[in-house]
Amino acid sequence: AKDGSSECRGALSRALHQYLELFGERARKYVGGEDYNKMAKHLDKHMAPSSVDAMVELAISTLLESIGRDAEAAEIEAAVLSADGLVTLADSQIERILQA
């Protein structure tokens, strides 16, 4: 793992699991069983964020890398757990990350 604690990676993996539970079928439409397993394993292995922006950017790029294909912002939903609760990123925010 890259400079990160296993506790942080575990928390991110749990967040992905919780996201799928919260959004149910809509999330599973884009993240099928095999892709989901690849994403969770990849997060556990590679995730080591240092800031919220870096964490979101790394999470999205890592998830796409884990399934081995490119995607468009409309295909992806991403949310950040904050003090205000779950904040879903706008397509424009996701697109900026995908273009980076």
Domain containing residue 85: 6-99
In a domain, residue 11? The reply is yes
In a domain, residue 1? The reply is no
67-81 average pLDDT score: 75
pLDDT of residue 1: 40
pLDDT of residue 98: 75
Please say if the pLDDT value at position 91 is more than 80. Answer: yes
Distances in whole angstroms, Cα of residue 11 to Cα of each of 49, 53, 92: 11, 17, 26
In a domain, residue 78? The reply is yes
pLDDT tens, residue by residue, 28-73 = 566 566 777 777 677 667 655 556 666 777 777 777 777 777 777 7
pLDDT of residue 27: 57
Phi, psi of 34 (to 5 degrees): -65, -45
In a domain, residue 23? The reply is yes
Mean pLDDT of the chain: 69
- Number of folded domains that form the chain: 1
